[in-house]
Chain A
Amino acid sequence: DAGVIQSPRHEVTEMGQEVTLRCKPISGHDYLFWYRQTMMRGLELLIYFNNNVPIDDSGMPEDRFSAKMPNASFSTLKIQPSEPRDSAVYFCASSSTPGGAGREKLFFGSGTQLSVL
């Protein structure tokens, strides 16, 4: 398996522009997580899905952020409009339902480095 795949690896945009980050989870995983990492706030959970349904979006900073998971193999995180304070590394991660040997682990993608100028 190729692991969790995120695109793009790097994104540079100007303030006010729309940004879309993409994620393909590991096949067969039914949980998908979006995290944001900054020096100031560390690793923050933004939202997570189970079976394509958002379970907890309490970490989404504000209405400018939205996430979707239209099917089991694809998710997007959208920022509209983007602001300089959104600059961070955004990670997607996926996992299986707890209960089976080795299934509890969370697998991370390589992240998207977002810079909003």
Chain B
Amino acid sequence: AQSVAQPEDQVNVAEGNPLTVKCTYSVSGNPYLFWYVQYPNRGLQFLLKYITGDNLVKGSYGFEAEFNKSQTSFHLKKPSALVSDSALYFCAVRDSWGKFQFGAGTQVVVTP
């Protein structure tokens, strides 16, 4: 069975500093990996995905993620965080049957 783990409930970072949100996965076969962001009282919005190809994936709002097959990780990164990046971030994996499984979410708090 597939699973996704986000080990941190919350990440605190000062504005302008680099931001990293961790994600590890377990899935049989080739993984389809995603990051979503949720702002208060909103649905989840797509940030980026890894399907195949380059291990470094670039997405919306300056975010990127690095796929590491040996460590089964897909960490989300942003070189310089903004206060407006404060939100709830979800990592997700999609299996070959089409099922999306989400992690528990990581609350990002960016302080001015």
Contacts and interface: CB of A to CB of B under 8 A. Distances in A.
Contacts, number: 62
Nearest to B51: A104
Nearest to B6: A42
A106 interface: yes
B105 to A, nearest CB: 6
Which of A4, A33, A108 gathers most chain B CB within 10 Å? A108
Interface string A1-23: 00010000000000000000000
Contacts of B100: 33, 45, 48, 93, 95, 106
> What bracket does the count of chain A residues touching chain B fall in?
20 to 34
Contacts of B105: 42-43
A-side interface mostly: strand
A17 B94 CA distance: 35
A28 interface: no
Given A42-B105, A43-B105, A110-B43, A98 B99 contact: no
A85 B69 CA distance: 39
> What bracket does the count of chain B residues touching chain A fall in?
20 to 34
A55 B99 CA distance: 9
Interface of B: 32, 34, 36, 42-46, 49, 51, 90, 92, 94, 96-102, 104-105
Interface of A: 4, 31, 33, 35, 42-43, 45, 48, 50, 55-56, 91, 93, 95, 97-98, 104-111
15 contacts: A43-B102, A43-B104, A45-B102, A55-B99, A93-B44, A93-B100, A98-B98, A104-B49, A104-B51, A106-B34, A106-B92, A108-B36, A108-B43, A110-B42, A110-B43
